[in-house]
Amino acid sequence: MSLTLRTISREQHLAYIQSLPSASHCQVPAWADVKTEWRSENLGWFDKNDQLVGAGLVLYRQLPKIKRYLAYLPEGPVLNWYAPNLDEWLQPMLAHLKHQGAFSVKMGPPVVIRRWNAAAIKSGIQDPDVKRLRDVEASHIEPRAFEVSDRLRKMGWQQGEDGGAGFGDVQPRYVFQVPLANRSLDDVLKGFNQLWRRNIKKAEKAGVDVVQGSYEDLAEWQRLYEITAERDHFRPRPLSYFQRMWSVLNTEDPNRMRLYFARHEGENVAAATMLIVGGHVWYSYGASANHKREVRPSNAMQWRMLRDAYAMGATVYDLRGISDSLDETDHLFGLIQFKVGTGGEAVEYIGEWDFPLNKLLHKALDMYMSRR
């Protein structure tokens, strides 16, 4: 298969993404407009019949003071990762990015290596000798993913540092997903643990109402999100970020981003944003007030979002990043505990990979990042 790589228009890129069952929301053309501090480019791979067979959104970040860039393809590029001739896909990309002034390339192949079902995770949590997800026997292993990693290493790619729970600009290596394909909603609900089902009922009884919001409600979202940031000690993104995200993503596709509120007695007590690309639906950001937790607004909201995802024909409801720690004393443990109650599965990707085009600058960037 002889492949050629060239830049493509956003329209071509979007049409290609829309022809697929799903792709990461970080690889849709409009994501470039969310990340305004990066310059962007759309790349396309063409086969010998000049058919578009792969695409990638590249974000370029300039190094301070010099005209050299870090080229980043978050959760991409979107191509056939299991192709035996993977180097014929990636070599032209590296050559092109080098020509564009990149000193280093970072990408996140959307390739799943292992999955753990809820039962496996629970047994891991109960075993005092188990501290990490990787110490638990996986329920499913994808052997082809190991081949992808081997091919990348042979080509000179280096596996990046673990993204941990995926907070910040690095994409998470471990995520939590609820599979929806070939399941009835009843099956999905039965998969929830008792506590979740009880909390959904509790919220219903207390009169918690879950509604969809609009652009005008983003200020109210921001209020709850900043309360959450203060409580959980993270730096919140500004309101302008979510406004831009809403505008650019929903201009590209009117059903790309949604906003939900859980209300109790007329007051918004929890909120969440949702992203949709084909059959893949993500719960992207969440927020909640410090009070009225006893009416379980977050459980009610997740159940509504999951039902909406199901009604859209989604094959997976993705609760995004988790840490791989199963240690109850770890501050991120509560996150996996909350998500595992949905009866879904923990999913490990092969992680992010780096290719140093200029070893000296790449090393300098590594040192700069580790000091931050």
Summarised one tens digit per residue, pLDDT across range 259-286 is 999 999 999 999 999 999 999 999 999 9
What was the pLDDT predicted at 368?
Answer: 66
Question: In the prediction, which pLDDT does 5 show?
Answer: 97
In a domain, 155, yes or no: no
Task: Decide if 146 is inside a domain.
Answer: no
**Whether residues 262 and 123 fall in one domain:** yes
User: What whole-number distance in Å separates Cα of residue 48 and Cα of residue 255?
Assistant: 34
pLDDT at residue 369 is higher than 90 = no
Would you say residue 181 has pLDDT above 60?
yes
Is 64 among the domain residues?
yes
How many CB atoms sit inside 10 A of residue 353's CB?
Answer: 21
Q: How many domains does the chain have?
A: 2
State the pLDDT at residue 371. Answer: 60
The CA distance from 177 to 193, in Å, is 15
Beta bridge partners, 210, equal: 262
- 10 Å CB burial of residue 192 (0-12, 13-18, 19+) is buried
* pLDDT higher than threshold 50 for residue 6: yes
One domain, residues 220 and 317: yes
Query: For residue 162, what pLDDT is reported?
Result: 54
Residues 103 and 120 occupy one common structural domain = no
For residue 149, is it within any domain?
Answer: no
Residues 34 and 183 in one domain: no
Cβ contact 70:85 at 8 Å: no
Domain for residue 156, yes or no? no
pLDDT greater than 60 at residue 165: no
Same domain, 47 and 184: no
Same domain, 28 and 120: no
Predicted confidence at residue 33, as pLDDT, reads: 97
Distance CA 222, CA 224 (A): 5
Judge if 266 and 342 occupy the same domain.
yes
Convert 47-59 to b/e letters by CB count within 10 Å (16 or more is b). eeeeeebbbbbbb
Q: Read off the pLDDT of residues 224-250 as tens digits, 9 standing for 90 and up.
A: 999 999 998 999 999 999 999 999 999
pLDDT at 107 over 70: yes
Query: Are residues 89 and 220 located together in one domain of the fold?
Result: no
Phi, psi of 158 (to 5 degrees): -120, 135
pLDDT of residue 361 exceeding 90: no
The rounded mean pLDDT for the chain is 93
CB under 8 A, 24+ apart: contacts of 183-188: 185/307, 185/310, 188/306, 188/310, 188/343
Distance CA 111, CA 351 (A): 8
- 3-state secondary structure at position 98: helix
251 and 175 within one domain: yes
Residue 150 lies in a domain: no
Q: Which helix (H) or strand (E) holds 53?
A: strand 52-62
**Residue 332 included in any domain:** yes
Q: Which domain holds residue 282?
A: 112-141+161-349
CATH code of residue 278: 3.40.630.30
- Reported as a pLDDT band with limits 50, 70 and 90, residue 164 is very low
Q: What is the mean pLDDT of residues 129-156?
A: 96
Token pair listed for 46: 């063409």
Q: Does residue 267 fall inside a structural domain?
A: yes
Looking at the structure, do residues 97 and 124 belong to the same domain, yes or no?
A: no
Residues 289 and 225 in one domain: yes
Choose the weakest-confidence range: 106-110, 224-228, 336-340. Answer: 336-340
> pTM of whole model > 0.85?
yes
Could you tell me what percent of the chain has a pLDDT over 90? 85
Model confidence at 194: pLDDT above 80: yes
- Give CA angle at 69 (55, 58), nearest 5°: 15
